[in-house]
Structure 1
Amino acid sequence: MTPRQARRVRMAMGAVAMVAMAVVLVVRLGNGSSLLSVGLYGAAFVLSGAVIEMSRRGRTRLGMAVLVTGFVGVLAADWWLRGI
């Protein structure tokens, strides 16, 4: 895969992650409005946007590391805070 193709694939993955987080946020808000949901999934949107921008600038590996680490962190925080 050429570097240009890798950037495009990672930008697409960031966009798909952003859409997935939007769907999850809408479902969560449908079950009841929560500032926690808006905050956590808002952070996920920011992460997705950062990954898209990093990929555009050629920092694809760093962007994927940020995406994976960030989403694991957001989902772990969601699970932990809802358990309390």
Structure 2
Amino acid sequence: MSEADQGPERPGLTPRQARHIRIALSAVIMIAVGLALVLRLDTTHSVLTLGFYGIALTLSGSALILSKHGRTRVATAVLGSCVGLAVAAEWAVASLR
């Protein structure tokens, strides 16, 4: 098979590189959410705060597992919704006070 038969190479990341990046990103976000939870529990003892950050930790862990199994697009959507959920919920609770 000659080079002309192979077609142009696709630019971007290989699937393996994408998985590794999403796994690392999920782990970093999981650590950041855990740290934010500890800091928020120092300032407020709200069950809602614990619940929102607990959901965010669970979803970021799910994104890590999804990335490990090659579902990087789904993992990105789950990770984005996880961060968005935690930020929006925290903002909503803070605005009620």
TM range, normalised to the smaller chain? over 0.9
* TM-score normalised by the chain length of structure 1: 0.93
Question: Counterpart amino acid of 1:3?
Answer: P
Distance (Å, rounded) in 1 between the aligned partners of 2:16 and 2:71: 11
The structure where helix makes up a greater share of residues is 1
Identity %: 43
Q: Does 1:24 align with 2:36?
A: yes
* TM-score normalised by the chain length of structure 2: 0.81
Identify which of structures 1 and 2 has the higher relative contact order when contacts are C-alpha pairs closer than 8 Å and 6+ apart. Answer: 1
1:52 aligned to which of 64, 67, 72: 64
Unaligned runs of 5+ in 2: 1-12
Question: Counterpart amino acid of 1:29?
Answer: L
Question: Counterpart amino acid of 1:78?
Answer: E
Q: What residue in structure 1 maps to residue 24 of structure 2?
A: 12
Unaligned runs of 5+ in 1: none
Q: Segments of 4+ in structure 1 off by > 2 A?
A: none
Contact kept? 2:26, 2:79, Cα under 8 Å: yes
Question: Counterpart amino acid of 1:79?
Answer: W
Distance (Å, rounded) in 1 between the aligned partners of 2:41 and 2:60: 20
Distance (Å, rounded) in 2 between the aligned partners of 1:32 and 1:66: 27
